[in-house]
Amino acid sequence: MTTLLDPFFGPYGGMYVPQILMPALKQLEKAFVDAQNDAEFQAEFTALLKEYAGRPTALTRCRNLTKGTKTKLYLKREDLLHGGAHKTNQVLGQVLLAKRMGKNEIIAETGAGQHGVATALACALMDMKCKVYMGAKDVERQSPNVFRMKLMGAEVIPVHSGSSTLKDACNEALRDWSASYEKAHYLLGTAAGPHPFPTIVREFQRMIGEETKAQIQQVEGRLPDAVYRRTRRTLDWC
């Protein structure tokens, strides 16, 4: 199928979903491309990141951790962002995009709850209905985040099928979206899933790298020798 953007990252990617979701993905891709070229949308997104989320976030040098070595270690402090994690960045972008598309409801999934909290934040800010699917086991384990989501008006839906964890929550969220995509937007929480979601998440998170690059050159006068990034369960070297 012809797409406006490259749907692959090397050998990975594509749009392997039920045929019923193809119109929704095509609509989303076109809306995203249009928004990327719309100065007004970009200005509104940038303003939200600055005035609501609290960007730019600090670059903190860990002097005590590297004491006695020649290493200089810096942390990009996404934990200082409103909502407590980097999730807020791309969630603001996607909810803004959903409003541009005329949607009035957001569907999301969450495991530990951070993406759910960020989604609830953005939906409360932009007056959007919010439904968050969460594995029943995760609902029990992450009760503080469940409380925060509900406090901000989100409907948290426990999923009891399968292993009652994140993958089952994703399945239920997609089922919901397949039946309601004309009014709802599925807000995927990471650079995964069918095209154009990985590209959308990447672009709505790119300010982290851009800020870090500018900040490290300001304090060190050069780029770092190595960059390490934390993913859900691993520490990767870039």
Which residues are the active-site residues? 62, 86
Inter-CA distances, 163 with 84, 158, 189, 207, Å: 28, 12, 20, 36
- CA 172 remoteness from chain centre: 19
Q: How many CA atoms lie within 13 A of 215 on its CB side?
A: 17
> For residue 19, what is the DSSP state?
G
Q: Which residue has the tokens 């982290």?
A: 208
Residue 6 tokens read as 């490259």
Say how far apart CA 96 and CA 227 lie, in whole Å.
30
- Local structure of 223: helix, strand or coil: coil
Torsion sign, CA atoms 6, 174, 168, 98: positive
